[in-house]
Amino acid sequence: MRLSRRPAQPLPVQVRPVGGETVVSYVFRLADANSFTRPTMLLRAVGEPIATNIHAGIIEHHDITLNAPALARLAALTGRPLASLAITLPSLGTARVDRRLASTTEPLINAFSSSAIRGHCQQCIARIPDQPDIRVHRQSAPAICPRHHRWVDTTRQHPHQLDLANNIEIITAHRRFQRLPSTRDDPTRARQQLCRTTEIVTHWHHHRHRFADSIFTQLHARWDTRARTLPTPGSATPLLVLPEAVALAEILCDPRWLRHVAMADHDDLLPFYQQVAQRLGQPTQFSDHLAYTHQIDPLQSWVIEHRKQFRTLRNRHRLLRARNPYNPRFPNTNPTARHIFGDTQRLLRTPESTWRDAGKEPSALPLRTRPGTLVGRFGHSDVSGAPGG
Ligand SMILES: [Zn+2]
């Protein structure tokens, strides 16, 4: 009889899953704790593999997808509610769609490989009996162990964990990022922004020869000093530039600056670059260079991409502003305050009671921005095709 067809009972010895851990790592630890001769036996007890690629070596860079009956068996074997497991084991919370796992009666699993699987903090592991090999998903586990102040976000290029006890600057930056409201509300997007800002700052770091006389000199001096405080200087550039990457990510996660960059006229972007310079502790020349340089700069590329997404909306608002200049007596009629989250319908309903009373669709009516003043139809036909910077 297949292991996956035997009744699933809670195992006698339970272990606690680690945040961000792979299901394979967790199941293998459970198997070890319960003296299974081979850890893959417990995996097969959870569900029947639909491919024959299940072996002990998959712990390194594989995790598994489970169908509903297999999930139920995992919950039964671990004695933990599925909802609680899904919080700790990320591949349960974001299950991949796999038609081969469609069965609603037979428990099935399938292994998938991921380059984003890495080791857990070695000092945390050293505190656990038998020092198990714990593997986690990079996106769901902290890059710096909060308990041991070790950088653990290793990659093939940077395979060694680093002790950051002497580098409070990097630890503080990491904490600041985790406390960002965006990190709590939309962690995936915040992480994407941090990846982008890390690329931008790493680019500035790598291309120092291009800026020999330059406004990046102060930053390079700072990075050189910081590199000397790391155990292996220069071994992990993303870590070295983390404080600057986080400072930039704080701006790129701030809705007010996102809105400004999206909607301001091209000539009004300087305040954004000034904010960047200020947060990075750089002089005015730094912001001037970023704002007016003709060289390809990665921050400018981000600005161009971001503005491109809102070009149509920006052009509409520009047209509206031209017809109806901002009036401080009616601040709510200023459209730039409301654009960013696709709230154009609310904008079009101003003043709301007028359209409600008329019982008509706001988009079918001429836009009225203050009582008694019609400023014309606000529709696609009015939008000029001029690019917006
Ligand atoms: Zn640790």
Distance 14 CA to ligand 1 centre (A): 21
Distance 147 CA to ligand 1 centre (A): 5
Top pLDDT among 310 and 347 is at: 310
- CB neighbour list of residue 97: distance below 8 Å, 6 or more residues apart: none
Question: Do 18 and 162 fall into the same domain?
Answer: no
Quote the pLDDT of residue 213.
Answer: 61
Question: Do 118 and 80 fall into the same domain?
Answer: yes
Distance 132 CA to ligand 1 centre (A): 14
Distance 126 CA to ligand 1 centre (A): 9
- Strand 373-377 and strand 108-113: the pairing is unpaired
User: 351 preceded by cis ω (within 30°)?
Assistant: yes
Q: What is the largest CA-CA distance in the chain?
A: 82
Which pLDDT band, with edges at 50, 70 and 90, does 379 fall under?
very low
- Residues around ion ligand 1, judged by CB within 5 A, are 121, 123-124, 145, 147-148
Quote the pLDDT of residue 206.
Answer: 84
Amino acid making up residue 191: R
Count of the separate structural domains present in the chain: 3
Distance 247 CA to ligand 1 centre (A): 25
Choose from 222-231, 362-371, 373-382 the range with maximum mean pLDDT: 222-231
Question: Do 295 and 346 fall into the same domain?
Answer: no
Domain ranges, residue 153: 144-309
Question: Do 369 and 321 fall into the same domain?
Answer: yes
Distance 282 CA to ligand 1 centre (A): 34
Question: Do 47 and 175 fall into the same domain?
Answer: no
Rounded distance between C-alpha atoms, residue 378 and residue 376, angstroms: 6
In a domain, 333, yes or no: no
Question: Do 152 and 216 fall into the same domain?
Answer: yes
Top pLDDT among 259 and 210 is at: 259
Question: Do 221 and 258 fall into the same domain?
Answer: yes
Distance 137 CA to ligand 1 centre (A): 16
In a domain, 389, yes or no: no
Q: What is the mean pLDDT of residues 52-73?
A: 90
Rounded distance between C-alpha atoms, residue 289 and residue 55, angstroms: 55
Distance 84 CA to ligand 1 centre (A): 22
Q: What is the mean pLDDT of residues 179-202?
A: 84
Distance 160 CA to ligand 1 centre (A): 14
pLDDT in tens, 220-267: 999 988 888 887 655 567 889 999 999 999 999 998 999 999 998 888
pLDDT in tens, 280-321: 999 988 999 888 888 888 999 999 999 999 998 888 888 877
Question: Do 152 and 275 fall into the same domain?
Answer: yes
In a domain, 332, yes or no: no
Question: Do 23 and 91 fall into the same domain?
Answer: yes
In a domain, 315, yes or no: yes
Which pLDDT band, with edges at 50, 70 and 90, does 71 fall under?
very high
In a domain, 388, yes or no: no
In a domain, 90, yes or no: yes
Q: What is the mean pLDDT of residues 147-156?
A: 89
The chain-wide mean pLDDT, for the chain, equals 80
- CB neighbour list of residue 270: distance below 8 Å, 6 or more residues apart: 287, 288, 291
Q: Which of 124-150 are b and which e, b meaning 16 or more Cβ less than 10 Å from the residue's Cβ? A: beeeeeeebebbbbbebbbbbbeebbb
pLDDT in tens, 96-131: 778 888 888 899 999 999 999 999 999 999 999 889
